[in-house]
Structure 1
Amino acid sequence: MGMSAKDERCASPTDEEWPEVEKAEKLARGAALKWASGVFYRPEKLEGLGHYRNRETQRNSSIQSRLKSTVQSYLEGVSTGLEQLRSAVQEVQSVCQDMGAARWALLDCADRFQGLQQMRALMAEHVQLASVVQVLPQLFSVHEVFSHTLQLLRGRRLLEAHAELMMMEHLRDDILSQLHLRGLSGAQATVLSYFSGLQELNESLAKQLWGIVGSSLQLVREDPVLFVTAVRIIEREEKIDDTLLLDATFLPPGRPKGWRQKFYHVLQETITAAHFNAVRMDAEGPGLARHLAALQRDIVAELRVVKDLMVQCVPAHYNILSVCTATYHRALSSHLQDILREDLDKQALFLLLEWVLRMYPSPEVMGHPDLLPEVDVSSLGPLVSPELVDQTERKYVEKVKASVLEWMQRTLEVEFKEWFREEEPEMDHQGFFQSALPVIVVQMLSENIQVASLITDSLQQKVYNMALEELEAFLGRLREVLVQCGKEHQKDRTVPKHYVPYLLAMLNNNLALSSSIPSLHPNAACREVPASLRAALDKIQKKACQLLLEELLLDLQPLYAQLPSRKWLSGPQLVNSMCEVIDKYTKDFSHVRKPAFTLLLMESELLVVSQYLRALMQKKMVCKSKEERGQLCERLLQDATQLRELFCSLGLDRRQQSLEAVFALQELICLKDPALLSLEVLGFITKYPDASDEHISTLLDLRGDISKDVRHLVLEMMAQNPQPLPEGYRPIFSTILVPAPEQPFCLRKAKCA
Structure 2
Amino acid sequence: MRAQPGRQPELAGWVAAHRGSLLAATATVTTLVHRGGTSGGGPTERPACCHAVWFPTSGCAWKCAGSQLPEWPEAEKAEKLARGAALKWASGVFYRPEKLEGLGQYRNRETQRNRSIQSRLKSTVQSYLEGVNAGLEQLRSAAQEVQSVCQDLGAARWALLDGADRFQGLQQMRALMAEHVQLASVVQVLPQLFSVHEVFSHTLQLLRGQHLLEAHAELMMMEHLRDDILSQLHLRGLSSAQATVLSYFGGLQELNESLAKQLWDIVGSSLRLVREDPVLFVTAVRIIEREEKIDDTLLLEATFLPPGRPKGWRQKFYHVLQETITGAHFHAARMDAEGPGLARHLTALQKDIVSELRVVKDLMVQCVPAHYNILSVCTATYHQALTSHLQDILREDLDKQALFLLLEWTLRVYHSPEMMGHPDLLPEVDVSALGPLMSPELVDQTERKYVVKVKASVLEWMQRTLEVEFKEWFREEEPETDHQGFFQSALPVIVMQMLNENIQVASLITDSLQQKIYNMALEELEAFLGRSVKPLAPLPILTDPGSHGYLSPPFFSPSSSVSSLHPNTAHREVPASLQAALDRMQKKACQLLLEELLLDLQPLCLQLPSRKWLSGSQLVSSMCEVIDKYAKDFSRVRKPLSPAQLLLMESEFLVASQYLRALMQKKMVCKSKEERGQLCDRLLQDATQLRELFCGLGLDRSQQSLEAVFALRELICLKDPTLLSLEVLGFVTKYPDVSDEHISTLLDLRGDVSKEVRHMVLDMMTQHPQVLPESYRPIFSTILVPPPELPLCLRKGKCA
Give TM-score scaled by structure 1 length: 0.88
Q: Distance in 2 between matches of 1:216 and 1:360?
A: 25
Deviation for aligned residue 1:404: 0.9
**AA aligned opposite 1:736:** I
What is residue 487 of structure 1 aligned with on the other side? 540
Where does structure 2 lack aligned partners over 5 or more consecutive residues? 1-66, 789-800
Note closer, same or farther for the CA distance 1:605–1:137 as it changes in structure 2 (3 Å cut).
same
| 1:507 correspondence with 2:552 | no
Structure 2 counterpart of 1:601, from 623, 638, 648: 648
1:221 and 1:283 map into 2 onto residues whose CA distance is 30
Query: Partner of 2:685 in structure 1?
Result: 638
Alignment match, 2:610? 565
1:157 to 202, 211, 230: 211
2:245 partner letter: V
- Matched residue type, 2:165: D
Deviation at 1:509, TM superposition (A): 3.5
1:401-450 deviations in Å (ceiling 9; x for gaps): 21111101101100110111111111111111121111111111221122
Give distance in 1, aligned partners of 2:218 and 2:313.
18
Q: Does 1:719 align with 2:786?
A: no
2:706 aligns to what?
659
The residue type paired with residue 760 of structure 2 is L
2:434 to 380, 388, 407: 380
Choose which of 591, 600, 611 in structure 2 pairs with 1:546: 591
Secondary structure of 1:398's match? helix
Counting only pairs closer than 5 Å after superposition, residues 4-43 of structure 1 correspond to structure 2 as: none
Shift of 1:298: 0.9
Distance 1:646 1:469 in 2: 43
How big is each residue's C-alpha offset from its partner over 1:498-532, in whole Å with a ceiling of 9 and x where there is no partner? 44x42x2x31343421x32646xxxx2xx233233
1-side partners of 2:76 and 2:407: how far apart?
112
One-letter code aligned to 1:510? V
Kept in 1, the 8 Å contact 2:560–2:637? The answer is yes
CA pair 19-439 structure 1, distance change in 2 beyond 3 A: farther
Offset of 1:99 from its aligned partner?
1.4
User: Could you tell me which of 301, 314, 329 is aligned with 2:368?
Assistant: 314
DSSP-derived class of the 1:273 partner: helix
Aligned partners of 1:424 and 1:498 also within 8 Å: no
Distance of 1:276 and 1:608 partners within structure 2: 76
Cα gap change, 1:460 to 1:15, in 2 (>3 Å)? farther
Instruction: Give the Cα separation in 2 of the matches to 1:232 and 1:674.
Output: 127
556, 559, 567: which one aligns with 1:516: 567
Larger-gyration structure (1/2)? 2
CA distance in 2, matches of 1:163, 1:45: 129
Name 1:7's counterpart in structure 2.
none
Question: Matches of 1:112 and 1:383 in 2, distance apart?
Answer: 82
- The one-letter amino acid of 2:169's match is G
Count of residues in Structure 1 that have an aligned counterpart in Structure 2: 717
* Partner in structure 1 of residue 631 of structure 2: 586
Aligned mate of 1:423, from 477, 486, 494: 477
Instruction: Render the CA deviation track for 1:532-570: whole Å, top value 9, x for unaligned.
Output: 322322222222212211221222222212222233233
Tell me the residue number matched to 1:92.
146
Distance 1:490 1:21 in 2: 159
Structure 1 residue 207 displacement after superposition: 1.3
- Judged with a 3 Å threshold, the aligned counterparts in structure 2 of structure 1 residues 52 and 665 are, in CA distance, closer, same or farther, namely farther
Residue 621, structure 1, aligned to residue 645, structure 2: no
Deviations 1:342-388 (A, max 9, x none): 22111111111211222223222223232233322222223223333
Whether the 8 Å CA contact 1:350–1:396 is kept in 2: the answer is yes
8 Å Cα contact 2:540/2:549 also seen in 1: no
- In the TM superposition, residue 594 of structure 1 has moved relative to its aligned partner by 4.5
Q: Deviations over 1:559-607 (max 9, x none)?
A: 2122222332333733222222111110111101355211111110000
Contact kept? 1:427, 1:434, Cα under 8 Å: yes
How far off its partner does 1:213 sit?
Answer: 0.6
Deviations 1:222-254 (A, max 9, x none): 222211111111111111111112233321111
Structure 2 residue aligned with 1:202: 256
Tell whether the 8 Å contact from 1:15 to 1:22 is kept in structure 2 after alignment.
no
Counterpart contact for 1:475–1:540, Cα < 8 Å: yes
RMSD, aligned α-carbons:
3.0
Q: Structure 2: which amino acid aligns with 1:707?
A: S
| 2:224 counterpart of 1:179 | no
User: Counterpart in 2 of 1:453?
Assistant: 507
Structure with more helix by fraction? 1
Q: Which letter does structure 1 place at the counterpart of 2:259?
A: L
1:301 to 355, 363, 376: 355
Distance 1:24 1:437 in 2: 139
Maintained 8 Å contact 2:607/2:613: yes
Q: Rate the CA distance shift 1:618–1:93 in 2: closer, same or farther, 3 A.
A: same
1:222 maps to: 276
Task: Determine the C-alpha separation between the residues in 2 that align with 1:713 and 1:301.
Answer: 105
1:439 aligns with 2:493: yes
Which 10-residue stretch deviates more, 60-69 or 678-687?
A: 60-69
Q: Matches of 1:591 and 1:386 in 2, distance apart?
A: 52
2:442 is matched by which residue type in structure 1?
L
Aligned to 1:705: 752
Give the TM-score of the pair, scaled to structure 2: 0.83
Assess, with a 3 A threshold, how the Cα gap between structure 1 residues 550 and 279 changes in structure 2: closer, same or farther: closer
> 8 Å contact 1:617–1:740 — kept in the other structure?
no
* Match status 1:398 vs 2:452: yes
User: 2:183 is paired with a residue of what secondary structure?
Assistant: helix
Aligned mates of 2:81, 2:684 — CA distance in 1: 149
- 1:191 is aligned, of 245, 258, 266, to 245
Equivalent position of 2:298 in the other structure: 244
Task: Give the secondary structure class of the aligned counterpart of 2:666.
Answer: coil
In structure 2, relative to structure 1, the CA distance for the partners of 1:21 and 1:299 (3 Å cut) is: farther
Distance 1:83 1:35 in 2: 49
Q: 1:13 to 1:716 in 2, by over 3 A?
A: farther
Going from structure 1 to structure 2, the CA distance change for 1:426 and 1:90 (only over 3 Å counts) comes to same
Which moves more between the two structures, 170-179 or 633-642?
633-642
Q: Which whole-Å deviations, capped at 9, do the CAs of 1:663-702 have from their partners, x for residues lacking one? A: 2112222223333322222221222111111111111222
Deviation digits for residues 90-114 of structure 1 (CA, Å, limit 9, x no counterpart): 2111111111222222222222333
* Higher normalized contact order (CA 8 Å, seq sep 6+, divided by chain length): 1
Shift of 1:21: 6.9
Using the TM superposition, give the Cα deviation of residue 122 of structure 1 relative to its aligned residue in structure 2, in angstroms: 2.3
Amino-acid identity (%): 84
Contiguous gaps of at least 5 residues in structure 1: 1-11, 742-753
Residues 264-317 of structure 1, C-alpha deviations (whole Å, 9 max, x = no match):
111111111111111543333331101000111111111122122212221222
Native 8 Å contact 2:624 2:690 kept in 1:
yes
Amino acid at match of 2:620: V
Determine if contact 1:283/1:339 at 8 Å carries over to the other structure: yes
1:317 aligned counterpart, secondary structure: helix
Q: Which amino acid aligns with 2:784?
A: L
SS of residue in 2 equivalent to 1:733 = coil
Instruction: Return the alpha-carbon distance in structure 2 between the equivalents of residues 405 and 156 of structure 1.
Output: 66
Cα pair 2:563 2:639 within 8 Å, conserved: no
Q: Is the 8 A contact 2:339 2:398 kept in 1?
A: no
Aligned residue for 1:212?
266
Question: How far apart are the structure 2 equivalents of 1:359 and 1:69?
Answer: 112
8 Å Cα contact 1:281/1:291 also seen in 2: no
User: Is the deviation greater in 530-539 or in 292-301?
Assistant: 530-539
* Equivalent in 733, 737, 741 of residue 686 of structure 1: 733
DSSP-derived class of the 1:735 partner:
coil
User: 1:65: how far off?
Assistant: 6.5
The more displaced of 633-642 and 60-69 is: 60-69
Between stretches 689-698 and 77-86, larger displacement belongs to 77-86
Change (3 A) 1:659 1:58: farther
Letter of the aligned partner of 1:530 in structure 2?
P
Aligned 8 A contact 1:442 1:517 in 2: no
